[in-house]
Structure 1
Amino acid sequence: MRPKNLTIHGFASFRDEVEIDFEDADLFVLSGPTGSGKSSIIDAMTFALYGAVPRYGKQATTAIVSKGRNEARVCLRFDAGGKEYTATRVVRMLSPERATTKEARLEQGVQVLADSTRDIENAITSIIGLNYEDFTRCVVLPQGEFQKFMHANPAERQDLLISLLGLGLYEDLRREASRRADGHRSEFEIAQRRLEEDYQGVTPDALKRSEEVLKALKATQLAAAKAGDELEQLRDELKEIARKSETLATQSDIVAKLRIPAAATVAAGQLDEANLKVDKLAEELKKVRLERSALNEERQELPDRGDLKVQLSRREEAATVAAQLVELKADSKDGKTRLETASEALAQAEDRLTRSESDLRSAQNRHQAAHLARSLVPGEPCPVCLQVVVDLPDHSGTADLAALGEVVKKAKADLKAATDNLGKIEKSAARSEARFQEAEKRFKDLAKQLEKTPELEVLAKDLARVDDLDARVRSAIASEGAIERKRQVAQEKAGLQAGMVVAAWEKWKEARGDASRAGLDPPDRVEGDLLASWKGLEQWAIAAAKRLRPKLDALEEMRRSKQAEMEGILKGLKESLARTGVEVKEGENPIGAVQSAYAKAEKAAADLQAQLEKACQLQDRARQEDSAGRTARELSRLLGAKYFEGWMIKRALKALVLGASKTLRELSSGAYSLEVGDQNEFVVIDHLNADERRSAKSLSGGETFLASVSLALALADQVAELGVRGGANLEALFLDEGFGTLDPETLDTVASALEELGAGGRMIGLITHVQDLAERMPVRFELYKEGNVSSITKMAV
């Protein structure tokens, strides 16, 4: 993998978009003060490819997003295997504690190779040849770790080598093998325990004995089947005997019960008597109805009783009105007389009132003149006539006004009384006249209505005759009803008697039908004679009963014989079953017992066969678990540090030193090479000093850098051989020089070594904060940081 271009936005301290061009940068340096973002460049490349950063792990995506930004975007364009690819990832913040990968895409030109986090990681691993763990160990070389590795003691070096090469996997495999060995041992013990507890006695010998029992029971079952056939035939014969016996018993029961019912004798005798009574009452009813018919004809010749009553009532009313008319005429005449008298009295009262009122006015005038006269003065004018008064007039004879007022008052009272009396008399006279007129009109109307009506005596006689005929008709109707009710009762009784006769005939038919259905041949009825029919059937039944008895006795004897034969067969079968060990319980069918015993034995043999197969399977499983457990235990032992891991570390150390020694001779112009000493320590061979062998700890600072770089490159070059997941053709390496300061001599050595590495066609990137070393590189990426924001500038020599 060789990076060509990297674009970062919102990633770590690179809040703003930064684009880094690696074209023509075979040897370059990332320089800047501590914390300026040098390592974040490598982190961005790793994240673009694998979606993770070594410092934060695969899950801590929130840490890579710049403070104050909602998302981080990284886009890496790189070459691998002669082809150009572009890997892009975008992380979006969901909350201060959560983030998600919004976009993950791998492209080759315009073709999208992967568009999900899982697919892009698998594709990158396939294209580059390194998974995430191998990439972080081989592409970014921890120079400081290899310096420690070179100076460490054997135990520390072993731990460092395990860490650098990822050989801890073999310890994981050893633990897994040990765990599986324990699991197989546990399964083996469980299988053994089940064999002892659940399958004790489940052996081939036990199965053989079970099959022998089954064979013996099979023979017994065949014998039982033969006996069963014989018994079945006897049962069929007994069924036929039982059927015939049942038929004869039914016939015997029928003829034994076939006797003349008492109701038949009574019904036959009483039916004629009831019919005679019905006929007699029918004749009486006919006679009464003829009488009633004659009365009705006679009655129809007379007027209607209601009309007679109306006419009689009108005659009586006319007589009453005539008598009232005389009285009312007298009252009317009397009223007129009293009215005339009252009118005269009223006229007289009005005249008296007129005279009294006139007298009172005259007296009042005189009194007024006398009053005025008292105010006259002789010689002065009169206030009324304006004449001069000569003499004073004399008014000494003035009447008493009070007395005259009383007279007027009384006259008014008399007038009112006369007026009231006249009004009353007028009303009374009007009423009398009205009653008279009304009575006169009613009398005229009645007289007109009665012009053609017989006289009162004739009407009374006709009404009496009608009442007599009506009473006689009612009496005839009552007699007719009484006779009809008696006839109905007699008819109902005759009907009951006829029903009893019909029921007796039905009984006869039922009895004869029962006998016929039972296979007998009873006699036919005597037409129209119930008692004769019953007597013939009864006599036939008595004779039939005598014939059936011997037949029943013969069938019973045959039944006992067949039953004894059946019991003999069953007894012999039970004895045969007892000899084969089959127990027959009281009341149990022997054939069923042997079939049940055979079925149980057959099931027991099948169950034993199945258990034996399961036991064999369990034994095989136990052997497999034991074998697998032993294999896993041995694998765990061999993978231990004493065996495989130790051998692997020695092999890896030897290959690592061999590759590092070759690189060191090239970087040191043939001056130095490396070997592993007898105590697994690193030994430097000084070829310029007669191949002197001395400890690697004796190397100067520059020499130490060359040796550690050689070890780092050996790891990168030989990762396919030394690692556990294969390797790749590494086209770019990034070195973390790991020195705080460099003296001039070391600086020259390091610079020369890096130039040698860069000339080999591989991209070499150096991460350092040592400015003197950075200035010696042909391409320099200077990083700056203002506040929390980093920026970068590409500089070429």
Structure 2
Amino acid sequence: MRIHHLRISGFGPFAGSEDIDFDRLSAHGLFLLNGPTGAGKTSVLDAICFALYGSVPGARQDGKRLRSDHADPGQEPAVICEFSAQGRRFEVTRSPAWEKPSARGKKGFTLQQAKTLLRERVGGSWVEKSARNDEAGAEIMALLGMDREQFTRVVMLPQGDFAAFLRSKAADRLDLLQKLFGTQRFEALEQELSREAAAAREDVAALSAQLELLVSRAETEAAPLELPCDSAPPPGDIPRRLEWLQESVAARLADLTEHAAAAEAASRERRTEVELEAGRQERHRKLHAATARQRAVKEGAARQDELLATLARHRQAEVLQGQLQAVDAAAAKVRSSAAAAGSAMTLLRLAAGDEGELAQLSLEGNAPGPAEELGRLRSLLAVVEARIPDEERLQDLRNRHRLLSGRQEELQQALDALAFQATQLASEREQLVDGLDHLEARSAEAALRRKEAAAAAELLDVVQRHRTAVTVRDRVKVRHEDSRDNLLEAKRHWLDLREDRLANAAAELAAKLVAGDPCPVCGSGQHPAPADQGTGGPGLAQKEEEAHAAYEAAEAAHALVAAELAEAGQAVAVLASQGGNTPEDDARAAADSADAAALDAEQAARELQGRRQRLETLDAAIAEARSNVSEAEAELSRTAASLADLAGQAAALDKGLAGLRGDHRSLDRRLRSLEDAVAVLDKAVEAQARLDAARLQEDEARGHLERALPEAGFATADEVRGQLLASSEAAALDAAIRAAQDEAARVAGLFESEDIVLALAEAAEGFQMDEERLAGLHAGAAAARNKAREADLAAGLAARCLASLQSIAAEYGALASSSRGPAERAQMLAGLADAAAGRGENTYRMSLNSYVLAGRLEQVALAASERLVAMSDGRYLLQHTDAKAARGAKSGLGLEVVDQWTGFRRDTSTLSGGESFMASLSLALGLADVVQQEAGGVEIETLFVDEGFGSLDEQSLEQVMDALEGLRDGGRVVGLVSHVAEMKQRIGTQLQVLKGRNGSTLRISESLDAAV
């Protein structure tokens, strides 16, 4: 990587824009970056680092503003760096975040975000690569092969840091080397090995826990059996203990099984005794019950005969039950028909007494009876019913006539309203037309009035800005006069001091003469009569220089104020040419008048638009009103003609229906009256007919019954009714007889059963029932059954325990076999993780990361020794040592100095100041070479070495400079950062940083007289 050009603007101490042509400096291979303390030498390196990585080195990044405090408020800070890498040429432009003054008329600042632009030169022109901070940074890092930390250690060699590196402990060296060589992957490998070892230990612990759980389960399963522990193996021998548990449980199972069989046999014997005794007592209970039932059957025999006789008489009377029911039904029907006929005749008499349709009916003499009158009314009813639609049609005609009359009134009212509306609309239209010409004339001036208002407002703004500009100019005039007075006073003071110095020039020259040294004027080594000191004193030259500097500062300040005054005067003149000297009251009055005229014209335009829209609406409404009047008049004429036609039809139809209505208001009422009369007559005639038929049916039923009585053995119907029973009573009587017969048969069968016969024999032998004896036998059987059940449960528990122990033993064997592999793996990973982390058998306590860095440090020591041998005249070289540290501290990153003149080795902290500088410089250069190789062999063609040369004697400085000269081989450019006077004399090509009150500046100085 080679830097070609750097441009710094408003960055660090550089207020303006400074350009550094590194190609020009590269022509000499070695150049010096010098300047007074605080001038900004390090800021040049900061600018390079910021351009490439977007930030400055670590300690200088915190709490430091990148933008120059001397820059103009509106100047944007920026760094442009042109460099080449990997055979390609790039230009990167970066600007840090900064606060820009707000736009004109506003106070405060606006935050400007950081910006980046990366370009590549392709075919003679620049091509943009990226304008994003992150993308540009990633691409530059890929090109250089180094991050910012590595770049600042390899390209910019800070000697103070490497001197501290020489004296630091192994842990501190590890941090720096890890940052430079990026060995975090080895540290990540250590952590991954530790994680895998921990996971393997957790797996083994989980398997051990499972094995212990299996053993605990086996002990828990066998605990209820209370096995003897005399012959039990110790708890540590788990396989033998599991085998002993199975053997003990198997033996206990055999004992419990034998005991359970004996208990079951005893229980069966007791159950047999209980069953025999219970059977004997059950048979005797059956015998007692059968004897009681036999006694009851004998006692109910007489009552059974009486029931049979009663049921036989009921069966004889039941033959005539149908004829009796027929007579009773016929008599009931006659009674109901007579009642109904009486009611109907009563209603008929009441209807005949009214002045209605039945007024002509007579129920006495030879007048027409109800049947004849019923026929006449039915005929009349048919005629009236046929004419009902005509009356409905008459009512419809009347309804239509009434509706049309209402419609005629509504049409007349609507016609009057429409005529009034048309008159009103015409009147309103005439009012709108009046004054329309005047509005059109006012609205036509709207555009012109708006332009005049805008021009007046613009003039008012110019007048106000002119007033402000005049105020600013007057203030600047005052400052300009003060600045001019200061300038004249500073110039007068400087000229006075200059005259005094010229007057005392001989005394000043005489004060510097030394006996034996040649005079700068005549060259003689003898100075017989030097001039007197004069009146100015020894500090006159310094005072003259200070006065001249004050004059130059005053002159620069006056030039700035003069430029500001000219700018303010120019602004006043420009605004005056635009009318800014117009009186503000006149401009404001003209603006208000123009605004009022514009508002009036715009109001007239809006009013004109509204009137035109209203006229269009009125014209449409007038045309619609006239059309509605014509339609209403036509519909009113049609309605009058329809009314006359409906009135004629209704009169003719009403005349034809008047005879059928009679005294009624309508045919519907006459129809209902006829229907009521027909219904009354119809009920009376029908009731009389039903009564005659019921009487005839009653006579026939009585005749049938009288003929059937003798055949059934009865004299009268009342005698038959006395022997008849209710159906439920007869059924109950029959059921009782059957039940008694069935009970007698069952009792006879009981005495023939085997149990009763056996019980009779046992009773003859003297057997008697004893409930207490049976209860005792039951209690004994229950106790025997409980003992058998308990023995069986104990045997079953032992069997299940044996099966569970066998399963646990098999599972334990399989799990123990499978756990050997994880245990061996966990042991192997634990040893590997301890070795990689510097624990366990790692006597040096050197981790894998430290081991890799130790190899890198050995390479660095070899590369540094090549230069240290040259710088120390072949005396010293650096050597890496992995000697074990004291008190168990981490080892492997030690450095020692080998004195080849004496052959002794010593710690780097014992080096003197000059020796320490040479060793740290060699270490920095060696580290740069190794990091460069680690970065993929990226060529570092521009190198900076910062400070430390003041601690060297003349011979050491000569040797160091020879070593630095060697760095130029192959076209490399080396920049030395120092303010040591000896370095200024030795190196002719210099990049000088000049410090001033208004910021620092840069310049390149080339002297052919310098001896390098």
**Do these two structures clear the TM 0.5 threshold for a shared fold by scoring above it?**
no
Q: Output the TM-score relative to the length of structure 1.
A: 0.44
TM-score (norm 2): 0.37
From the CA coordinates, give the structure whose radius of gyration is larger.
1
